[in-house]
Amino acid sequence: MMAEPVNIQRTLDSFSEPWSPRIVAQFNDYDVRVAKFHGAYLWHSHQDTDELFIVAAGRLVIHLREDGVERCVTLHRGDTYVVPRGIEHKPVSDEESHIIMVEPTGTLTVGDTHEEIPDHVDATTGHHIG
């Protein structure tokens, strides 16, 4: 069956919880998810998939750790960044930011390995809308 268009802004307007992605589209075996990021996420990694971030609004700092070496990248509205599989990462937004993510359907937000999950983080494979 043919789907109806899904509006990203309207989806963002429909919820307020940070770190709780909504699935706005699925194609092949991938999800396009939108989420509000605010505050600090947790260190985690995805063993089997890269993860694409697109900043629709706000500012996102992604802390990265590879072989014990830490660095971070700062993304502004319109920036894209791919975290390669296996790389530990921790997104941080000091203001509410709106993030679009593309990753395989079923990918758990907190990854395969992660530190303790704080209460404000929703460990999910994404929420369907409507």
Binding site for Ni ion (CB under 5 A): 51
What gap in Å lies between CA 2 and CA 14, rounded to an integer?
A: 23
SS3 content of the chain, % helix, strand, coil (to 5): 5, 50, 45
Question: Which helix (H) or strand (E) element contains residue 11?
Answer: helix 8-13
Q: How far is the CB of 24 from Ni ion (least distance, A)?
A: 18
Q: How far is the CB of 5 from Ni ion (least distance, A)?
A: 27
Residue with smallest beta-carbon separation from Ni ion: 51
Specify the residue, 10 or 79, whose C-beta has the smaller distance to Ni ion. 79
Q: Which two tokens mark 15?
A: 């919820």
Q: How far is the CB of 31 from Ni ion (least distance, A)?
A: 13
Work out whether the CA dihedral 62, 128, 116, 107 comes out positive or negative. Answer: negative
Specify the residue, 9 or 84, whose C-beta has the smaller distance to Ni ion. 84
Q: How far is the CB of 89 from Ni ion (least distance, A)?
A: 6
Specify the residue, 31 or 51, whose C-beta has the smaller distance to Ni ion. 51
Specify the residue, 10 or 82, whose C-beta has the smaller distance to Ni ion. 82
Pairing of strands 80-83, 22-27: unpaired
